[in-house]
Amino acid sequence: MDEFHTVAKTADVPEGEGRAFSVAGRAVAVFRRDGQFHAINDICPHMGASLATGAFEGDQVFCPWHAWRFCVVDGQWLDNPNATLKTDCYEVRVVGDEIQVGLPGDPQPAPSEQD
Ligand code: FES
Label residue 107 by pLDDT band (50, 70, 90). low
Q: Is residue 112 part of a domain?
A: no
Nearest-atom number in ligand 1 for the CA of 63 is 2
Write out pLDDT tens, residues 70-86: 999 999 999 987 878 89
Q: Is residue 22 part of a domain?
A: yes
Label residue 115 by pLDDT band (50, 70, 90). very low
Which residues lie closer than 8 Å to 72 by C-beta, 6 or more apart?
18, 29, 31, 33, 38, 39, 40, 56, 59, 60, 61
Q: Is residue 114 part of a domain?
A: no
7 lines ligand 1 (CB under 6 A): no
Higher pLDDT, 111 or 21: 21
49 lines ligand 1 (CB under 6 A): yes
What residues make up the domain containing 100?
A: 2-104
Nearest-atom number in ligand 1 for the CA of 47 is 1
Looking up residue 68, the CATH number of its domain turns out to be: 2.102.10.10
Q: Is residue 79 part of a domain?
A: yes
Q: Is residue 111 part of a domain?
A: no
Q: Is residue 91 part of a domain?
A: yes
Write out pLDDT tens, residues 2-58: 899 999 999 999 999 999 999 999 999 999 999 999 999 999 999 999 999 999 999
Q: Is residue 41 part of a domain?
A: yes
Residue 38, pLDDT score: 98
Number of domains in the chain: 1
47 lines ligand 1 (CB under 6 A): yes
